[in-house]
Amino acid sequence: MLRNIRYVVSFIPPLFVVTGNLSGGYYTLLNPVFVLGFLAFIEWFLPDHTRNDDTASPTLPDFWLALAIPVQLVTLGSLLYGIAGGILTGPWLYMALLGTGLNSGALAIVTAHEMIHRPAKTWVWFGNMQLFSVLNAYFYVDHLRVHHRYIGTEQDHVSARYGEHFYHFLARSIYGQFREALQIEARAALKKGRAAYGFSNFVVRNTLGHLFLLSILSAVHPVLMLAYLFQAVIANVLLEYTNYIEHYGLSRTDKERVHAGLSWQSDRFFSRFLLYDLSRHADHHLYGGRPYHLLKHHDTSPALPGGYASMIFPVLIPPLWFALVHPRLKKWQNTPAT
């Protein structure tokens, strides 16, 4: 039961975001400082929570997941309200955009990732709504139909290659995922006798929806459109950062089965409970349909040197990232248990 209660910390960032967006000034620093300051520092030193405790009841975990849907809408609404009302101006506007984008990447995309793996169509629909809120048209298709199937191989755009720095990966991953998802949907449409790149194509349909939303915001005021677009860009860059650290340097052959050694994991407190146990990523790839509150630690998976937030700055400085991760990767590869 305690494990399920701890996921409440995932609502600290949106609380900070709404406070900053509606108050302006120094309050806009709350979430950027929390994520890029406090979490980035403290998760170097927090102990790991490696226990595989679980609770059979999904009631509370499902409640947290459902609550994230209106909370995401409130955070975005508070940003637009703060701008329209003149609360967010000057440098504080940029801090509000950063804080909101970080929250969208952590709350909206992470919960969407959980939802689209659920068998119930209602969860999948809400997951796609969360992705729509950050203007992501490709993740739903590529993640389920490419990434989980081809993880660790050359066919997977999301698996970062050994020696590949984040900036190269960012461009390769986004372009590759969008193109692959678009083509997958085009082939599916043709099989149904429909236009390959028509409205029945999920990627095309969502992209048009994104453009329509941005055009509506632009008609109200161009700054609202630019602000919404900017927070979405931050959210999607954060998604690709997460993809990068989750699979960096881990590979397999086409004939090799998926195993626990294809994902980096972290059992630091905030990486686990603020991100709905996304950091137990190895178990997720072994059992894609397993709910987040039941995901387990694997001794045979490589462990990041810190938490997800504490890896942000090293990743942005490639030589530092390589210096931290390469020795750990080689040590793990030479461990007989793997």
CA distances to 26, 193, 216 from 96, in Å: 10, 46, 21
% of the chain surpassing 90 pLDDT? 94
Dihedral in degrees, nearest 10, Cα atoms 243, 188, 122, 207: 60
Give the model's pLDDT for residue 336.
63
Residues 45-68, mean pLDDT to the nearest whole number = 90
pLDDT higher than threshold 50 for residue 30: yes
Q: Give this prediction's pTM.
A: 0.95
How do residues 224-241 score in pLDDT, each as one tens digit? Answer: 999 999 999 999 999 999
Q: What is the pLDDT of residues 178-215, one digit of tens each?
A: 999 999 999 999 999 999 999 999 999 999 999 999 99
Confidence band, pLDDT 50/70/90 cuts, at residue 52:
confident
**Quick one: pLDDT at residue 338?**
45
Contact 294, 4 (CB under 8 A): no
**For the chain, what percent of residues have pLDDT higher than 70?**
99
Mean pLDDT over 25-38 rounds to 98
Q: Across residues 73-101, what is the average pLDDT?
A: 98
